[in-house]
Amino acid sequence: MRKRLGIISFFVVIFITFIVVWGYSYQQGQEEAYIPLIETPTGNFIPSESGAFNRFDASGLDYLNMPVDENHQRTLETYYDNRAFEGAPPSIPHPVAEERSLGGNTCIQCHQNGGFVEKFNAYAPVTPHPEMINCRQCHVTKNTNSTFTELASAASMETGFARSTPPKVGEGVNNAMPGSPPMMPHRLHMRENCISCHAGPSAPKEIRVTHPERINCRQCHLPIKATQSTMDASTFLRQFDELNEK
């Protein structure tokens, strides 16, 4: 008998729960009785503008209080070592775990937020675009030091490719006036998150920013040339002189 009572009360409890849940969801249904006009927004993002803000929030990295590790910092020289030219995707300078993998989480686990890697005695560079996970579409490993045409003298990358000079950096180079905030000497495509390269211990020392907490970067720093414009971007002057008789 007792056992039966237990089973009955168990079902009663389940039944009451059902009534409550059903009642609640019915009420919820009543409240939203109209047809909601809210459409699921598509493409509701601004890729070229939101980079720094998003990453600053999402990573929760305390860039301001990150120590500068002088013994393990990159320089611009080493930064360009594994890039064919300014803006080219860097090649992967270390062995990869699995040849068949896209990259994805394997790469992201170190390159999303960075950090010191004992094995390579270096800080992992932070990617500006962790949302793109087919890493090896653009980033390839370097499996040989030789080149195709002169296999014998293969020590360097000298292939005849005219390597463009990367933009100069340093005090007064990209400033319009003494002391004014430097302009951005490079394009921003795929590199909208400024702090990934300009802050933290993996940032090349020449381009490390002193104020990574100011994440509205483009309040003060503008690209030297508008990248998307199809119009003449030389100095703005009106054709006023035509009307002028001096």
Give the integer Cα–Cα distance in Å for 215 and 234.
29
Give the integer Cα–Cα distance in Å for 54 and 202.
19
Q: Which stretch binds another protein (CB under 8 A): 3-11, 105-113, 139-147, 235-243?
A: 235-243
9-48 residues in contact with another protein (CB under 8 A) are 31-32, 34, 36-39, 41-48
Give the integer Cα–Cα distance in Å for 65 and 95.
32
Give the integer Cα–Cα distance in Å for 199 and 59.
13
Q: Which residues pair with 223 in a beta bridge?
A: 184
Q: Which stretch binds another protein (CB under 8 A): 117-125, 145-153, 193-201, 211-219?
A: 211-219
224 is an interface residue for another protein by CB under 8 A? yes
Residue by residue, what is the 3-state secondary structure of 153-190?
CCCCCCCCCCCCCCCCCCCCCCCCCCCCCCCECCCCCC
171 is an interface residue for another protein by CB under 8 A? yes
Q: Which of 50, 141, 146, 153 binds another protein (CB under 8 A)?
A: 50
229 is an interface residue for another protein by CB under 8 A? yes
Compare residues 118 and 241 and give the one whose CB is closer to another protein: 241
- Where does this chain bind another protein (CB under 8 A)? 31-32, 34, 36-39, 41-50, 53-54, 171-172, 175-181, 183, 210-211, 213-216, 218-226, 228-233, 235-238, 240-241, 243-246
